[in-house]
Amino acid sequence: MQKKIAFWAVIAVAIWAACQSAHAETAPTTKTSSFHVEVTGHGAPMILVPGLNSAGEVWDTTVDHYKDHYECHVLTLAGFAGQPPIGTPFLAAVRDDLAAYIREKRLDHPVIVGHSLGGFLALWLAAEHPELVGKIVIVDSLPALGAIMNPEISPDDLASNARQMRDGMLKSSEAQRLQYQRASIEGMISASADVERVVAWGKISDPKTTANAMFELFSTDLRQEVSKIQAPTLVLGTWIAYEKYATQAEIMQTFVSQYKNLKDAQIELAPKSRHFIMYDQPDWMFLEMDHFLASAKKA
C-alpha cells in the first residue's frame, strides 16, 4: 500500500505544473472563451492540447514534424502561460468549446493529440462527442488520475481528496507555489534547459485556474465513459520517473486497467522519457505516432 500511495503522489506531482516555449511559423490566431488557437501547416486537421500550465509552444517540435501533412491547431488553455483566466467549471468549458470549434471550423474528424491534462480533455471530448473526432493520441495521461491509489474509490471520496488538494494549493504562498512547481517540473523533464523553459511559463499561469483545474481533473472519473469512444487511440505512457515507487510492469498494468473499457486502445511506454515525452524522447514519440496515424483506420 505504501508503494501505491507514493506512486500516486508522484503522479499527482507530475501533472501539477508545466509549459514551454520556442516558436513555429503560424497563421492568424483565433480566440474562444476557454482557449487560444494558433494554426500552422496544411493537410488533414490535427488539434494539439497541452497540459496543466503549459503554453501551446510545447508542441513546436511536433508541429514542425507534422505541418507538411497536417493542419495543426495548437491550443493554449485559459489561465495558463499568460492567457486570461475564466471561471469554473473549467475543463467542461474547454471540452464544450472545443466541440463547438470543430463544428464551426468544419474540421473533418481531426486527430486529437493531448498531453497530461490535455490528454484527459481529449478523452472527455471523444467520449462526449464520438462523432466529431478522428484518431486520438494520449501523451502520458489516464482516465481517472484520482483513482490510481484506490481503483475502487467512491465518487464522494474522489471529490473529497481532490478538494483537499485544491484547498492546499490555494492556501500556498507565492514562494511556496513556485518552489513546489520547480520541484515538480524537475521530476518531469530530463534536460535542465527544458526545465527552465517550462518553469518560466508556469510562473505566469493563474494559480486559481491551476488549482481548480487540478480539482476537476482529480475528481472526474472517465473509466466508464471511455467505452463511448469510437476512435482508434494511441496511449503513450512513461515510467522511469516513478521507478522508485513502482516497476515498469506495475505501471503498465495501471495503464491497462484504466483503459480496459476503451476497446480500440494501443498502449506503449516510452523507454527513456519522463512526463514530457515531446522533450525527452521526441524521436520515439514521432515514430510511434507516425506508425499509428498511417495504420489506424479512420473513426
Supply the pLDDT for residue 32: 54
User: What CATH number has the domain bearing residue 206?
Assistant: 3.40.50.1820
Report CA 72 to chain centroid distance, whole Å: 17
Q: Which of 222, 218, 296 is nearest to 264 (CA)?
A: 296
Q: Who has greater pLDDT, 185 or 112?
A: 112
Write the secondary structure of the chain as one string of H (helix), E (strand) and C (coil).
CHHHHHHHHHHHHHHCCCCCCCCCCCCCCEECCCEEEEEEECCEEEEEECCCCCCHHHHHHHHHHHCCCEEEEEEEECCCCCCCCCCCCCHHHHHHHHHHHHHHCCCCCCEEEEECHHHHHHHHHHHHCCCCCCCEEEECCCCCHHHCCCCCCCHHHHHHHHHHHHHHHHHCCHHHHHHHHHHHHHCCCCCHHHHHHHHHHHHCCCHHHHHHHHHHHHHCCCCCHHHHCCCCEEEEECCHHHCCCCCHHHHHHHHHHHCCCCCCEEEEECCCCCCCHHHHCHHHHHHHHHHHHHHCCCC
Q: Who has greater pLDDT, 25 or 145?
A: 145
pLDDT tens column, 258-268 = 999 999 899 99
Residue 13: give the domain boundaries.
2-295
Contact 40, 25 (CB under 8 A): yes
Contact 163, 215 (CB under 8 A): yes
Whether this prediction's pTM lies above 0.85 is answered by yes
Supply the pLDDT for residue 5: 38
Supply the pLDDT for residue 2: 40
Tell me the C-alpha to C-alpha distance, in Å, between residue 217 and each of 87, 143, 209, 270: 15, 9, 12, 23
pLDDT tens column, 43-94 = 999 999 999 999 999 999 999 999 999 999 999 999 999 999 998 899 999 9
Contact 110, 134 (CB under 8 A): yes
Number of domains, the chain: 1
Supply the pLDDT for residue 23: 33
Measured CA to CA, the distance from residue 107 to residue 60 in angstroms comes to: 21
Q: pLDDT-derived band of residue 20, with 50, 70 and 90 as boundaries? A: very low
Cβ neighbourhood burial of 105 (10 Å; 0-12, 13-18, 19+): middle
Supply the pLDDT for residue 212: 93
Q: 17-21, 120-124, 225-229, 291-295: which has the minimum mean pLDDT? A: 17-21
Supply the pLDDT for residue 173: 84
Q: 160-174, 204-218, 236-250: which has the minimum mean pLDDT? A: 160-174
Tell me the C-alpha to C-alpha distance, in Å, between residue 79 and each of 55, 83, 155, 173, 209: 10, 5, 27, 18, 6
Percent of the chain with pLDDT over 70: 88
Which residue reads 489561465 in cell numbers? 79
Contacts of 244 (CB under 8 A, 6+ apart): 6
| Summary mean pLDDT of the chain | 88
